[in-house]
Structure 1
């Protein structure tokens, strides 16, 4: 497999856990560097998950295509047939994005100074075992929060914090199956931080990494986590703009479709009501309590 070509048989072997050594490393490098290849991979995982949920036999890549090198455009077309005729072109912008939510916040030095040194410390347990002791839902939630925290750290130009958060995401990804291509993107982001690349380059790399992580997890808990992280910062900064942003309003209006626990649904509906008008000090205090309760219930 060359750098710009996708071997569907090798991709199938990678998904099945049958690929080893340099062949496995090549697939990971390609998926980490090519949006088109990664989208084929992510859509394949989604399709397999849906098929398993229905109790159906999972469709695999045809064996007669073994060792055939297929250009990415053709690979996308083949995957189109294999995953229920879905369009796998350039990924469309997500309805919810931690990076875009964070842009609504005033993260000037004066504002950031009010947050304190431990601004990204959340009310969840920190015990031995890390990702290994978290279930799938808790992992997705924490990864969502940390992806938004990472975007905030970069906008604060807190590069030490950003490096630490990227490292934590890499550690959490150890508990997620087939996450190596996404892990590679966060490892590359850490390298960019160490090399002192421009802020714009870092922000773009972080947003691409978040999008890849979102497609890998395909989880409402990930969306809940990144919204909670951004909303928590907004509350502490006394910033109303985030709650009025289209992404935040759409998220709050669509919570009934996320399959969340009743307690979280009730809390989010209350948050929607509190943020529908002018937010005063009493409302901010209640918002903080509601968000902390959601985080404690979902982060493990």
Structure 2
């Protein structure tokens, strides 16, 4: 990675004399993820990396994708030892340097595993984990055709097993598999603020109605999109003032608080988000009322709600 690439991320690299390396100051975890992403994208297309992947995959039969992943994982575990960075220093090294030295921490293992998996044609996600309650561990999620998304952590004794702690997916490298991708956590903030269907005005007619085009979001397959569109195709549907979509596992909560009926969505990370509130007619003699919550069941698919004048309707 050269100086121009580092500057494009917003860093100020300083050349270390006598070494093919730069000294940089990282403000937060997002910049670390950006450097890891740049390493993976740059080195996964090199001919020598492609040649290395070809030699690793020789024992596997054609299109045995699970064998591809296992061979790459076993190669990394047998050639690279886990060694922590020097105290109070974050060292990010290229995958070729990691193989040459034979040591590296979770960042270096992630860069190497992501590079080899992407060079082998896999879609990958850079994922943060919180083994001690803080997101201080990084590894890879890989999309294996026929098996879906799988965990790859070459620093673990069980590198392909699911993690028992919270995860947060940061960056996805590769095209979205529309049938099985579902929701990506990197889009949670954007989807929580914007409507599920981006609307683009086309033209006005005599009745001053605006014709709009609805675009299928990347996180929905064709069947989910068609089911959601039935609400808009129905001749007697209520006018939708706003549409919002939330990740799988979200719950819809309705609470009566004082003279208001409020509708919340509990996200998979436990946070509550207010999406609608309705004023109730006060009684002649109001009395203090306890908060009463109606807990909905977690949705296995993205939770899509339509906000109308009458309230919140699940689409």
The two structures have a TM-score, normalised by structure 1, of 0.23
Tell me which structure has the larger Cα radius of gyration. Answer: 2
Query: Which structure has more strand as a fraction of its residues?
Result: 2
The two structures have a TM-score, normalised by structure 2, of 0.22
